């Protein structure tokens, strides 16, 4: 079965720095990869989607890369702010629209 691994440790970074979160996967070839943000006590909120034939996607301060050879996606938040503190989930999406979520990485941006 597919396995998805995100940064196992919580990530703490200084305000203004770039946060980089990792999503590695095995035993699967997703057609898409999505990133979601989840705040405590709330449901996940969609941030970005990247397709298997795309290398990079950007949205404002967010950047996602997708390397199907390495089976890895990197999620970057540039010029990080305390308001970016949350848990970030990656999700693999198959061609049949099956979703498989990672366990998430908790990010804390320190003022």
- Count CA atoms closer than 13 A to 96's CA, side-chain side: 3
Which residues, 4 to 43, sit near other proteins by CB under 8 A? 4, 31-32, 34, 41-43
Residue count of the chain, please give it.
Answer: 111
- Span near other proteins by CB under 8 A; candidates 9-17, 55-63, 66-74, 94-102: 94-102
State yes or no: residue 96 binds other proteins (CB under 8 A). Answer: yes
- Span near other proteins by CB under 8 A; candidates 10-18, 57-65, 71-79, 99-107: 99-107
CB atoms within 10 A of CB 20: 15
């Amino acid at each position: 079965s597919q396995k998805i691994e995100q940064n196992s440790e919580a990530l703490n970074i200084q305000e203004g720095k770039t946060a980089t979160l990792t999503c590695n996967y095995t035993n699967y070839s997703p057609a898409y990869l999505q990133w979601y943000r989840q705040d405590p006590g709330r449901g996940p909120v969609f941030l970005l989607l990247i397709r298997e034939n795309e290398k990079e996607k950007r949205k404002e301060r967010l950047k996602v890369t997708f390397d199907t050879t390495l089976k890895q996606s990197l999620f970057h938040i540039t010029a990080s702010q305390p308001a970016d503190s949350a848990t970030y989930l990656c999700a693999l999406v198959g061609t049949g629209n099956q979703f498989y979520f990672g366990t998430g990485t908790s990010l804390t941006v320190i003022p």
